[in-house]
Amino acid sequence: MYIIAGLGNPGGKYENTRHNVGFHVIDTLADRMGIRVDEKKHFALCGKGILAGERVVLLKPQTYMNNSGQSLRAAADFYKVEPEQIIVISDDIDLEQGQLRIRLKGSAGGHNGLKSIIQHLGAQDFPRVRVGIGGKPEGWDLADYVLGQLKGNDAEAMQNAYHTAADAVEAMISEGGDIAMNRYNRKPEKQKKEKKPENKAAPAVPPAEDKSKAEGNG
């Protein structure tokens, strides 16, 4: 079993912001699996199904970004999964828009959602998929940028990124983390040129709302 958690902030005002990349990738996976992510459990919205032949729980923490670890800890304890069986999807301001970076373990890299998860799990060895949203323009406040609405070409580019990130999550489960990293840790244009092999299998990888709670570093 795997827990696949997409990070974001709950509520309509944050729905289409750069910081909610993780929620959108979860929605993309849910559409592919034909399930709904609407069960309220583990301080999150959850959905259960099968992905790449494995049982998975899709998770959208409702704790606000900076407290994401509270939800992941509750889910991990309930399903009795190890950190290696938790895949976390988040935004990244240090990557080009739409670029992916898969890691099987590591530090938070300045992202407050990942920092919270590391603190609550007491471990760094959980796989993560970071989706680039591009760096903030000069003179912009970081919180204003990551909590800004995606519009026009930016919104279209991110829609493509959500599907690519969903592909990457499937590959991590069905073919293993190393293969997924080799395939998807590239510039966006190279990711598009790389075709996904067919029928290839490999071992799987082992509260009150305010701006300070919602922001977190991108």
Give the residue numbers annotated as catalytic, written as ranges.
Answer: 19
SS (H, E, C) 56-85: EEEEEECCCHHHHHHHHHHHHHHHCCCHHH
Are the C-beta atoms of 38 and 99 separated by less than 8 Å? no
